[in-house]
Structure 1
Amino acid sequence: MWDWIVDILFQILKLIQGFAVDWGLSIIILVLIIRLLLTPLLLRSTRSMARMQVLQPKLQEIQQKYADDPQKQQEMMQKFYSENKFNPLGGCLPLLIQMPILFALFTLLRNLPSYFPGVETSAFSFYNILPDLTMVPSQAFANDPVTAIPYLVALVLFSVLTLIPTLLQSRNQTGSQAQSMRVMAVVMTVMMLWMGWGLPAGVLLYYDVSSLWQVIQQQLVTRKVTEKAKAEEEARMASAPIEVDVVRRERQARPHKKS
């Protein structure tokens, strides 16, 4: 099942490389195509996350109110999601779509020389900036620390460009939630350094360009979409009818007067 995804990715890259000539440039073009295709979905996801920020106090209220009854709590939260037409997993969809592409690209670059028997790995380069896109930073550093500098730069960008978007998002949060996001961002940065140490340079290039696109888009487009979506949701919540819990008391029989 996984092989056909890798084969499709190979055919797309091979088609792009036919006119781009350079494999690194082909990967960059692939990033741009995927990012453009995902833009409508990303904007929808952004609106969903903005609405979640507005709805969060109400969700916390439900969680506290039914803290002693998990089943009732889950039922009320599902009802709340349904009434507000909200999908809690909507914000994760763009990431979930991109993950198979990253894994497929990792598999493809690791085995790319086998697709072209007799061709040197130096043919799979990015204008000699990254001389071998199949090379991993750890191997490049072991061969020659000086020539490994471009690979190490790609690795550092791999981690830093993971940190920046989360830090930008944390500005929209307050208190402990903002602090938790910053701590998570630092932990993820360290993890990405560790993971990237063994990833092919082509995967690092793909992720770096994709993350850079995300940062620019976040500053130019996403922030405005978030502010607009939050304002619309706050206005909708303000005009929504107020729900009042009414507890009916059982009517007690009146005492009969003694004659």
Structure 2
Amino acid sequence: MRWRWLIVLLIPIFLTACDQSQTQVSNVFNAIFVGPIDLLLHGLGRLYGENYGLAIITIVLIIRVFLLPFMVIQVKNMHMMREKTKIVKPQIDNLKEKIKNAETQEEKLEANKDLMATYKQYDINPLKNVIGCLPILIQLPILYGLIITLKFPSGGGIEAYPNFLWFDLTEPNLWISLIAAIVYFFQPFVNAIHYPKDQRKTHYVLMILSPIFITYISLHSASALGLYWTVGGLFLIIQMHFAHAYYGKLARSEAQKLQDHLNTTAPSQEV
């Protein structure tokens, strides 16, 4: 999890720090990432009567809805694996101990085979959490496209109608930067409360680092980027809270069924 969040924090800084010109943006990246974002932003802006703040909010909604299935799968897998692992932990620890103490390669291979069979039997697969990287990887080119679109806007559009609420979307704004930072202070906190206390350290670190990075980036970018992060962070908080609450309860229920099944089939075996 730590390296995934490190990517989120560092790559936007790299992107915003790059002093690119329009001629330096490759035609391939422009066609794949920048062009579609630019067209979508201008199309929605015109649809809303040249209101590009609403256009950015709509883009955030589209992205969050698109990423929702990946987020749901990640949260579900995390809770299911955690609750099931609690129940079969003695069995898994015993097999790991056999692997550690194996005197021959054959014994080690046999113990590894038994461990993999146990994981499969209880549908415990740590590799399932790899899907948690997908939302981050998907967002990076979108963020890149948005940054370049805002840095080199095409004629008219947001450049001609930059005002939204109290700020100019094309200029840095202190208040929207601070709001985005506050949102990303609470986002890791809301996520952390759904984890055991011994697994919250990474989230607590992010509660400090995320606002610092978000503030720095927002103050050196168009405030439209701060708006994007603010709205996206708020929706992420809501989505994560309800997903954790629902799948945490479901996982505990499934784990109890597994425990009851094990107690029934092997009442004399300590699980």
Question: Do both share a fold (TM > 0.5)?
Answer: yes
Matches within 5 A, 1:21-36: 21-36=50-65
Counterpart for residue 213 of structure 2: 191
Distance 1:51 1:201, change over 3 A: same
Structure 2: unaligned runs, 5 residues or longer:
1-27, 103-107, 267-271
Task: Choose which of 37, 46, 49 in structure 1 pairs with 2:75.
Answer: 46
Task: Choose which of 210, 214, 231 in structure 1 pairs with 2:252.
Answer: 231
Matches within 5 A, 1:1-259: 1-3=28-30, 4-20=32-48, 21-55=50-84, 57=86, 58=89, 61=93, 65=97, 66=99, 82-83=120-121, 84=123, 86=125, 87-112=128-153, 115-116=154-155, 119=156, 123-127=160-164, 129-131=166-168, 133-135=169-171, 137=172, 151-219=173-241, 221-235=242-256, 237-238=258-259, 239=261
Structure 1: unaligned runs, 5 residues or longer:
138-150, 243-259
- Larger Rg computed on CA atoms: 1
Counterpart for residue 145 of structure 1: none
- Which structure exhibits the higher relative contact order, with contacts defined as CA atoms closer than 8 Å and separated by 6 or more residues? 2
Distance 1:225 1:100, change over 3 A: farther
Q: State the TM-score, normalized to the length of structure 2.
A: 0.67
1:121: how far off? 6.9
Aligned residues: 221
What is the DSSP-based 3-state SS (H/G/I as helix, E as strand, rest coil) of the residue aligned with 1:88? helix
> Is contact 2:42–2:157 with CA below 8 Å preserved after alignment?
no
> Is contact 2:45–2:157 with CA below 8 Å preserved after alignment?
no
> Is contact 2:38–2:149 with CA below 8 Å preserved after alignment?
yes
> Is contact 1:48–1:91 with CA below 8 Å preserved after alignment?
no
Distance 1:30 1:77, change over 3 A: farther
- The percentage of aligned residue pairs carrying the same residue is 20
- Root-mean-square deviation (CA), in Å? 3.3
Deviation per CA, 1:94-147, whole angstroms, max 9, x where unpaired?
A: 2332222112101111011xx11xx5975242435222x232x3xxxxxxxxxx
Q: State the TM-score, normalized to the length of structure 1.
A: 0.70
